[in-house]
Amino acid sequence: MTIISKTKSTIILAFIIGSFTMLYCSLILNQNIWTDEAFTIELTRQNGLLEIIRQTAIDVHPPLYYLIVKIFISLFGSSFQVYKLVSILPMLLTMLLSMTHIRPWFGAARAVLFLIFLNAIPCVMEYSVQIRMYSWCIFFITLAGLSTYGVYTQGTFRQYCILTLAALCACYTHNFAMISAVFLYILLGIALIFQKKTVPVRWLLSGAVVSAGFLPWLPVLLRQTGSRVGNYWIEPVTMKTIFGYFSDLFGSRLPYTAVMFGILLILAVFFFKDTRREERFVALLAIVPLLTVLTGILVSVLITPFFIARYLLPCMGLIALFLAVSFGGALQRRASFMLLSAFLAVMAANAYYTNFLLEYDSTHTSELLRYLEAAMEEDDLILYNHQEYGFIYECYFDSEKLCFLDDMDFEAAYHQIWYFDSCVSPWLPDDVLQEHGLAKEYIATLGIEQNDFILYRIYRK
Amino acid sequence: MKKIYCSAAVLSAAAILIFLYLAPQRIRTSIVSENKVSYEQPVPSVAHGFILSQQFVPRYEQLERIEVYINALSCSREEGYLDIRITDSSAEVLYENQLPLAALPEYGMTPVVKEVRLAAGNTYKLSIEAVDTLDDGPAISFFPNEIAANEEESGGGLTYAGQRLENAVLRASFCYSVPLPPVNYLAYCLFIVFLIFLCAERLFLHLKK
């Protein structure tokens, strides 16, 4: 293919990065969150840095992401958009790796392909705008993966430092990102031993630094894992769930999307023989997600179900890199390169549209908030009967105005009550209302998150 | 090279035409229409003539399935079956299915109708009756509140043992199979053309060697 100038490629890459960043930003202008995001908000709004570390030690995930969020909301305020921007930032950083690492090492065409592949993988766009740690994991693992390539081909001290730091951050962001980081080190070690015919000291040192750095959290991790044995929420792993991982990550609302990505991956494996010798190291990086999923399955089968498809998200940057390097080497003609780019651009548009619907059109949250903003008065209360959702409601409403049905004192001072009836136990019998001289009026069926409820207005007769 | 690319272009055009011909039947997506949230209660029996029927108006032609909430925990599932019928306004039976009680799950949303083509916008009646059972048969849930109605049930009537249940709808979900909007075919067409051009390119490289 024609080699384009550095300036031209910079403009093209900057344009693609800018466009995708704008798309990501357009997905966060809403008030939509789900349970795990509410957990992040609750944990970071109410606690200081030390308390966050203490609380995450009780939960299952390491603390780094929550600490980053805490720093950001302390600086920029705690609106939902700030939370969501914290997730977009690492996507921007991951995309910038196409300029800083991929273009110099693999060429501009592959840098372009990396960007489009990364954003066309359906699950990436979905999780990168959520108030969770997955986009940070993608950044840390992609950076660590690229650094292993840098170490393998150049072996500079700087590359080792970046690798060490990225791997350590990955370990402190998600447990399965840690597993991916461990495999990156193992595969790098094997490659270096084959290359240099001796055990590389710097590699050992870097691994030792990461291990020592993670050591303070290791007892917590072991305790967390131990306490979840037999009582974790993840369903047992069956053959069906294993086959489902691929479609969970690569499937979309368009039928056969996962099949098309499957074909691309098979072709990429087939074409890898066309790449330069040192580039074949990237094929090793593509084994990392495979080894991670195998570990997840093994842990789930032998100990307790601990693995779900989205825990592979940290490796999506590596998969995009593998596909980009392979196809970048194989596509000799502009026509096929343009066709692949066009196909991926359409898939990215599809991922965007799917997520746009998910963010803006899948719940009644905005309708409810609009309605209550107009109708709710100073002394009104919000009453709910779905206890598990109480902490999600707290993300939207002042906790002093919220009351769970069992704790409600109907004799208390209030103007009127907005009752979120999720049609679960406990329920509110009409005679209780009558006893207190109250009546209820049906407003609409609305909801927050995927929890729909009937909204009633309760007023004094 | 030119010849190979020309052949690839012709092949691509042919492949796209075949794809566009087959796609409306082969590449479809599902649309599910469910009840809105509400408290529910079961009818105590659908056996011995206690037929439960719900009027509905399908929104699309191809119904993949209709599911209703069945609780078979407290009935004997050794004998008998659920007789499921869809009739039109002239009481003509358009669909009939006999679902053995032994095949029912203990409880949950259960497909009672599978793969049926109806006219969108027309009114039909779904009837459920347990036949040859040892007892009252399974309990089937409904919502005693029309605000729970999905679009199909809205304005329709629920009848139990010949009596109209006022302000009530069957707990049911309607799953349709619909063709994708044509704009989505672009992704498949591009993929097909890419694969054909890729093969052409590889063939060219092979011949060059």
Q: Which of B114, B121, B43 is nearest to B84 (CA)?
A: B114
Rounded CA gap, A397 and A412, in Å? 19
Q: Is B187 in Cβ contact with A350 (below 8 Å)?
A: yes
The shortest C-alpha distance from B115 to chain A (Å) reads: 19
The shortest C-alpha distance from A289 to chain B (Å) reads: 25
Residues B125 and B204 in one domain: no
Q: For residue A322, what pLDDT is reported?
A: 96
Nearest residue on chain B to A261, alpha-carbon basis: B191
Q: Assess B59–A contact: CB distance below 8 Å, yes or no.
A: no
Q: Assess B178–A contact: CB distance below 8 Å, yes or no.
A: no
Q: Tell which of B69, B191, B199, B203 to mutate to test the A interface (max A CBs under 10 Å).
A: B191
Q: For residue A237, what pLDDT is reported?
A: 85
Type of residue numbered A229: V
Extended strands (E) in A82-130: none
Specify the number of domains making up chain B: 2
Residues B162 and B191 in one domain: no
Ramachandran angles phi, psi of B205, nearest 5°? -60, -40
Element (H, E) at A271: helix A257-271
Helix axes of A157-171 and A201-214: crossing angle, nearest 10 degrees: 30
Nearest residue on chain B to A427, alpha-carbon basis: B39
Q: Which of A453, A427, A389, A369 is nearest to B36 (CA)?
A: A453
Q: For residue A461, what pLDDT is reported?
A: 83
Residues B81 and B11 in one domain: no
Q: Assess B185–A contact: CB distance below 8 Å, yes or no.
A: no
Q: Three-class SS of residue B60? A: coil
Q: For residue A234, what pLDDT is reported?
A: 80
Rounded CA gap, A325 and A276, in Å? 10
Residues B14 and B40 in one domain: no
A323-352: b or e for each residue (b if 16 or more CB lie within 10 Å)?
bbbbbbbbbebebbbebbbbbbbbbbebbb
Q: Assess A255–B contact: CB distance below 8 Å, yes or no.
A: yes
Q: Is A343 in Cβ contact with B191 (below 8 Å)?
A: yes
Collect all residues of chain B within an 8 Å Cβ-Cβ radius of residue A332.
Answer: 201, 205
Residues B117 and B187 in one domain: no
Nearest residue on chain A to B199, alpha-carbon basis: A336
Dihedral over Cα of B161, B165, B171, B173: its sign: positive
Collect all residues of chain B within an 8 Å Cβ-Cβ radius of residue A347.
Answer: 187
pLDDT tens per residue across all 209 residues of chain B: 788 889 999 999 999 999 999 999 899 999 999 999 999 999 989 998 899 999 999 999 999 999 999 999 989 999 999 999 999 999 999 999 999 999 999 999 999 999 999 999 999 999 999 999 999 999 999 999 889 999 999 988 999 999 999 999 999 999 999 999 999 999 999 999 999 999 998 888 888 77
Q: For residue A36, what pLDDT is reported?
A: 92
A63 contacts A52 by C-beta, under 8 angstroms: yes
Collect all residues of chain B within an 8 Å Cβ-Cβ radius of residue A343.
Answer: 187, 190-191, 194
Ramachandran angles phi, psi of B177, nearest 5°? -110, 120
Rounded CA gap, A426 and A383, in Å? 12
CA–chain centroid gap for A413, Å, is 43
Residues B89 and B78 in one domain: yes
Q: Which of A190, A221, A222, A224 is nearest to A207 (CA)?
A: A190
Residue bearing tokens 């119904």: B63
For residue A370, give both structure tokens.
Answer: 């609009």
Q: For residue A1, what pLDDT is reported?
A: 54
Q: Is A343 in Cβ contact with B180 (below 8 Å)?
A: no
Residue bearing tokens 């055990």: A199
Q: What is the pTM of this model?
A: 0.92
Rounded CA gap, A227 and A173, in Å? 20
Q: What is the CA radius of gyration of chain B?
A: 24
Residues 34-53 of B with CB under 8 A from A: 36-40
What ipTM was assigned to the predicted interfaces of this complex?
0.89
Q: Tell which of A254, A270, A352 to mutate to test the B interface (max B CBs under 10 Å).
A: A254
Collect all residues of chain A within an 8 Å Cβ-Cβ radius of residue B36.
Answer: 445, 452
Q: What's chain B's average pLDDT?
A: 93
A154 phi-psi bin (left φ>0, alpha ψ -120 to 50, beta other): alpha
pLDDT digits (tens, 9 = 90+) for A51-74: 999 999 888 889 999 999 999 999
The shortest C-alpha distance from B121 to chain A (Å) reads: 25
Rounded CA gap, B168 and B43, in Å? 12
Strands B172-179 and B28-33: antiparallel
The shortest C-alpha distance from A349 to chain B (Å) reads: 10
Rounded CA gap, B188 and A341, in Å? 13
Q: Is B197 in Cβ contact with A335 (below 8 Å)?
A: yes
A175 phi-psi bin (left φ>0, alpha ψ -120 to 50, beta other): alpha
Angle subtended at Cα A346 by Cα A342 and Cα A352, rounded to the nearest 5 degrees: 145
Nearest residue on chain A to B39, alpha-carbon basis: A423
A392-415: b or e for each residue (b if 16 or more CB lie within 10 Å)?
bbbbbbeeebbbebeebebeeebe
Angle subtended at Cα A263 by Cα B201 and Cα A281, rounded to the nearest 5 degrees: 80
Q: For residue A60, what pLDDT is reported?
A: 80
Question: Which parts of chain A sit beneath pLDDT 70?
Answer: 1-3
Residues listed for chain A: 461
Q: Assess B32–A contact: CB distance below 8 Å, yes or no.
A: no
Q: Which of A48, A241, A21 is nearest to A119 (CA)?
A: A21
Helix axes of A281-302 and A316-330: crossing angle, nearest 10 degrees: 150
Q: Where are the domains of chain A?
A: 6-360, 365-460
Q: Is A339 in Cβ contact with B197 (below 8 Å)?
A: yes
Q: Tell which of A331, A334, A339 to mutate to test the B interface (max B CBs under 10 Å).
A: A339
Torsion of CA A286, A292, A294, A300, to 10 degrees: -160
Nearest residue on chain A to B9, alpha-carbon basis: A335
pLDDT digits (tens, 9 = 90+) for B91-129: 999 999 999 999 999 999 999 999 999 999 999 999 999
Collect all residues of chain A within an 8 Å Cβ-Cβ radius of residue B186.
Answer: 346
Rounded CA gap, A223 and A252, in Å? 37
Q: Is A342 in Cβ contact with B198 (below 8 Å)?
A: no
Residues 85-144 of B with CB under 8 A from A: none
Q: Assess A56–B contact: CB distance below 8 Å, yes or no.
A: no
Collect all residues of chain A within an 8 Å Cβ-Cβ radius of residue B194.
Answer: 336, 339-340, 342-343
Cα separations (Å) of B110 from A297, B67, B100, B154, B174? 31, 5, 12, 21, 11
Host domain of residue B199:
2-27+181-208
Rounded CA gap, A71 and A63, in Å? 12
Q: Assess B19–A contact: CB distance below 8 Å, yes or no.
A: no
Residues B71 and B113 in one domain: yes
Angle subtended at Cα B191 by Cα A327 and Cα A141, rounded to the nearest 5 degrees: 45
Half-sphere exposure at residue A450, Cβ-oriented, CA atoms within 13 angstroms: 5
In the beta sheet, which residues pair with residue B28? Answer: B179
Strands A381-384 and A402-404: parallel
Q: Assess A256–B contact: CB distance below 8 Å, yes or no.
A: yes
Q: Which of A275, A362, A458 is nearest to A30 (CA)?
A: A362
Helix axes of A49-58 and A35-46: crossing angle, nearest 10 degrees: 140
Q: Is B5 in Cβ contact with A335 (below 8 Å)?
A: yes
Q: For residue A403, what pLDDT is reported?
A: 96
Nearest residue on chain B to A343, alpha-carbon basis: B190
Ramachandran angles phi, psi of A455, nearest 5°? -95, 120
Q: Assess A347–B contact: CB distance below 8 Å, yes or no.
A: yes
B50 contacts B129 by C-beta, under 8 angstroms: yes
For residue B113, give both structure tokens.
Answer: 């109708």
Of A254, A336, A454, the CB nearest to B194: A336
